[in-house]
Amino acid sequence: MNALKGQFFDGKSSQLHEVEIGRIDAATIRVCGGAIDRTDAIAELRLAPRLGRTARTLEFPDGARVLVADQAGLDAWFPGEDRLQRLVDRLERHAHAVAASIVICLAAGIATFTWGVPWLSDRIAEQIPRDIEGALGKEVLGQLDQYFGFAASKIDEARQQELNQRFARLTQAMPDASRYSLLYRDAPQVGPNALAIPGGAVVVTDQLLDLFADDREFDAVMAHELGHQQHRHALRQTLRSSFVLVIAALFTGDVSSASAIVVGVPTFLLKSHYSRGFEEEADQFAFETLATHEISPSWFAQAMRELDYYYDADDDGSMAYLSSHPSTEDRISAAEESGYAFVASHPELAREEPDYDPCIEEDICPDEEEVLDWCEDLECALERSSIPIEPVGSEPDPDED
Ligand SMILES: [Zn+2]
């Protein structure tokens, strides 16, 4: 049999020796070249698996190795390669098989991140005791006060009491009612916002309370935040978005990586970077909670519209309460649909709808005299009056008929 050419390394130095490998008999080989001359039993050699067309390594028991490019020659010498190895080799040489395996690996990776990480994060969240979640919440509150300009609220005590009662009314029938609390903060840099803090606190900014004209909008936003609390969204989202850090902390017991997780929580809470599924779940929870308390879910749509209007008009870079996913329009129309269903089952409460106009709905319209009596200024009277009043000295618009 012909000798095979190879490159020999003794396993002790990096020096390369060009060698020839020949067979003495069925059980023994001889390696010769330069300073190398050795004989070895074939049974003691190990042939590394094929990898495409790259040279294969023949390993000796003392750590020496020789690289051989002649695949066919090696195949003749080592016919005992197992079938699996040959199959793998065939696949590696097949472009379609390589492409398919890349696609399968990518799909497996995407599936792991899309479903595997959320699933595993939720299982971990279930195991985290409420005390630990509460400690995380305290840490987050501290960070909001320290780094995000959250300060003591300027809302007066009587008004806070009034809102506390509304909040308590919403939570009273919830299984975790005793853990929920409402906290007020003045946060001019953040703007109108409400946050469900891990552990049960809901923080509302003075700016949000100033924005709403009706307390039922406050109820609607609180019901949504309580939805996040009921489903432990803050904790679950934290685990999902810092999954690698969580795993590292679990395996190493390294507390410093756990603190890195805490640092990211206030930002995602302020920017409402919950997953689409979490937002929709909290919205649905809000619609059901409001309906239970005989408040139409249309008030949620109204609150969203006011926030949307505020953030559209406001370009100072304050952190938006409204998340970009799902879109605000989708959330408003979902709330309105829920509102229609509510009114259909509670026709006696139709007058409580945010945009209810008795003049349109029931033809109960104020007469001109009353309008003028109600209105304090002329602009309001003009707006209310059905008779168009031309301002003195104005010419009729020629484009108008
Ligand atoms: Zn939300």
340 φ/ψ angles, rounded to the nearest 5 degrees: -60, -45
Higher pLDDT pick, 300 / 254: 300
Residues 6+ apart with CB under 8 A from 188: 149, 207
Q: If you measure from the C-alpha of residue 173 to the centroid of ligand 1, how many angstroms do you get, rounded to a whole number?
A: 21
Q: If you measure from the C-alpha of residue 273 to the centroid of ligand 1, how many angstroms do you get, rounded to a whole number?
A: 8
Residues 6+ apart with CB under 8 A from 324: none
Same domain, 311 and 222: yes
Same domain, 244 and 313: yes
Which structural domain range is residue 203 located in?
A: 130-355
pLDDT band at 286, cuts 50/70/90? very high
Q: If you measure from the C-alpha of residue 166 to the centroid of ligand 1, how many angstroms do you get, rounded to a whole number?
A: 19
Q: If you measure from the C-alpha of residue 306 to the centroid of ligand 1, how many angstroms do you get, rounded to a whole number?
A: 16
Cα separation, 290 vs 346, whole angstroms: 13
- The 10s digit of each residue's pLDDT in 28-67 is 899 999 889 999 998 888 888 777 778 888 899 999 999 9
3-state secondary structure of 43: helix
152 φ/ψ angles, rounded to the nearest 5 degrees: -55, 140
Neighbours of ion ligand 1 (CB under 5 A): 282
DSSP-assigned letter for residue 376: S
154 has a pLDDT exceeding 90: yes
Q: If you measure from the C-alpha of residue 236 to the centroid of ligand 1, how many angstroms do you get, rounded to a whole number?
A: 13
Q: If you measure from the C-alpha of residue 286 to the centroid of ligand 1, how many angstroms do you get, rounded to a whole number?
A: 10
Same domain, 154 and 58: no
pLDDT band at 390, cuts 50/70/90? very low
pLDDT at 393: 45
398 within domain boundaries: no
Looking at residues 318-345, what average pLDDT do you find? 81
pLDDT at 400: 44
Same domain, 223 and 287: yes
**What tokens appear for 261 in the block?**
């997780």
Contact present, 223 and 299 (Cβ < 8 Å): no
Q: If you measure from the C-alpha of residue 234 to the centroid of ligand 1, how many angstroms do you get, rounded to a whole number?
A: 10
Which residue, 148, 201, 194, 208, is CA-closest to 171?
A: 201
The percent of residues in the chain predicted with pLDDT above 90, rounded, is 37
- The 10s digit of each residue's pLDDT in 181-231 is 999 999 998 899 999 999 999 999 999 999 999 999 999 999 999 999 999
Q: If you measure from the C-alpha of residue 322 to the centroid of ligand 1, how many angstroms do you get, rounded to a whole number?
A: 8
Distances (CA, A) of 102 to 99, 106, 107: 5, 6, 9
Same domain, 69 and 157: no
**What tokens appear for 373 in the block?**
């009596």
Domain count, the chain: 3
User: 326 preceded by cis ω (within 30°)?
Assistant: yes
Same domain, 268 and 146: yes
Same domain, 208 and 88: no
The percent of residues in the chain predicted with pLDDT above 70, rounded, is 84
**What tokens appear for 67 in the block?**
């690289």
124 within domain boundaries: no
pTM above 0.85, yes or no: no
Q: If you measure from the C-alpha of residue 154 to the centroid of ligand 1, how many angstroms do you get, rounded to a whole number?
A: 25
Same domain, 362 and 261: no
Q: If you measure from the C-alpha of residue 202 to the centroid of ligand 1, how many angstroms do you get, rounded to a whole number?
A: 12
Residues 6+ apart with CB under 8 A from 315: none
Q: If you measure from the C-alpha of residue 396 to the centroid of ligand 1, how many angstroms do you get, rounded to a whole number?
A: 51
- The 10s digit of each residue's pLDDT in 79-132 is 665 677 777 777 777 888 888 888 998 998 888 878 888 888 888 888 888 888
Question: Tokens 């929870």 sit at which residue?
Answer: 285
399 within domain boundaries: no
Give me the CATH number covering residue 55: 2.30.29
Q: If you measure from the C-alpha of residue 17 to the centroid of ligand 1, how many angstroms do you get, rounded to a whole number?
A: 68
* Beta pairing partners, 32: 20, 37
244 within domain boundaries: yes
394 within domain boundaries: no
Q: If you measure from the C-alpha of residue 261 to the centroid of ligand 1, how many angstroms do you get, rounded to a whole number?
A: 20
393 within domain boundaries: no
Same domain, 167 and 263: yes
pLDDT at 158: 95
pLDDT band at 374, cuts 50/70/90? low
pLDDT at 183: 97
Same domain, 262 and 364: no
pLDDT at 324: 59
Looking at residues 314-332, what average pLDDT do you find? 69
DSSP-assigned letter for residue 205: E
242 has a pLDDT exceeding 80: no
Q: If you measure from the C-alpha of residue 293 to the centroid of ligand 1, how many angstroms do you get, rounded to a whole number?
A: 20
Same domain, 138 and 158: yes
Q: If you measure from the C-alpha of residue 145 to the centroid of ligand 1, how many angstroms do you get, rounded to a whole number?
A: 21
159 has a pLDDT exceeding 70: yes
Q: If you measure from the C-alpha of residue 272 to the centroid of ligand 1, how many angstroms do you get, rounded to a whole number?
A: 6
- Indicate the average pLDDT of the chain: 83
98 within domain boundaries: no
Q: If you measure from the C-alpha of residue 219 to the centroid of ligand 1, how many angstroms do you get, rounded to a whole number?
A: 14
Q: If you measure from the C-alpha of residue 152 to the centroid of ligand 1, how many angstroms do you get, rounded to a whole number?
A: 23
Q: If you measure from the C-alpha of residue 343 to the centroid of ligand 1, how many angstroms do you get, rounded to a whole number?
A: 25
pLDDT at 206: 96
Same domain, 235 and 338: yes
pLDDT at 325: 60
